[in-house]
Amino acid sequence: MKKFLVTVAVAALAAPMFAQSAPSRVAVIDVQKVLQNSNAGKAATERLRKMQEDRVARASKMEEEMRNLDNEINTKKLSLSEDKLTDLAKQLSDKKIAAQRFAQDAEREVTEARDKTLLELQNKILPVIDGIGKEMGLAAIFNKFESGLVYASDAIDITDTVIKRFNDATGTAAPAAAPAKKP
């Protein structure tokens, strides 16, 4: 019985030691804010925006060509031969099919580029987050808005620290501001 009491006493004294050795602090991070405010995130967003704008410009050019061809058909249909009208109608139909294919391909390309970029950024951010978590002795770091979290004190938000360290780790300068568009 005495041996049992000694074992219980030792276990009771040891329990606080084990509890203290395991980290018990948690933190949250706003990953979206890191992507929007980090230099690498801004540069990636700018590259994706330019890619999107390029696709939109090409689609607009295709739309303009289709409008011009449609106008030509409508304005000259009385003066052109049936064969020429048929040929123009086929050209218009081919341009519409090409525009639809381009739109589908462009959407797929932009989506794939966005997914690839986000994965690359995630692979660069995770080691930074891991290092901060270890340095701060954190038990867990939650994604603030994707974890089901309903409330988190600002005191446990480490987003700004992650952004600073991520900028330092990637060595990327802030992207240059886009030039103002002329009206």
Per DSSP, the residues of 34-65 read: HHHHSHHHHHHHHHHHHHHHHHHHHHHHHHHH
Q: Any idea how long the chain is?
A: 183
DSSP-derived 3-state class of residue 140: strand
Domain ranges of the chain: 27-170
Report the pLDDT value the prediction gives residue 44, as an integer from 0 to 100: 94
Alpha-carbon torsion (46, 34, 165, 110), positive or negative: negative
* C-alpha dist (Å) from residue 48 to 53, 113, 156: 9, 7, 32
Q: Which is nearest to 169 in space by CA: 138, 117, 122, 125?
A: 125
CA 175 remoteness from chain centre: 17
> CA 34, CA 170: separation in Å to the nearest integer?
13
Q: Which is nearest to 158 in space by CA: 182, 136, 126?
A: 136
Report the pLDDT value the prediction gives residue 151, as an integer from 0 to 100: 74
> CA 129, CA 44: separation in Å to the nearest integer?
19
> Would you give the DSSP letter of residue 157?
B
CATH fold for domain 27-170: Protein Binding, DinI Protein; Chain A (3.30.910)
Report the pLDDT value the prediction gives residue 79, as an integer from 0 to 100: 86
pTM of the model: 0.69
> CA 161, CA 156: separation in Å to the nearest integer?
11
Report the pLDDT value the prediction gives residue 170, as an integer from 0 to 100: 83
| Average pLDDT per 10 consecutive residues for the chain, totaling 183 residues | 40 45 78 90 94 95 94 86 90 95 96 94 91 89 79 83 90 58 45
Residue 138 parent element (H or E): strand 138-143
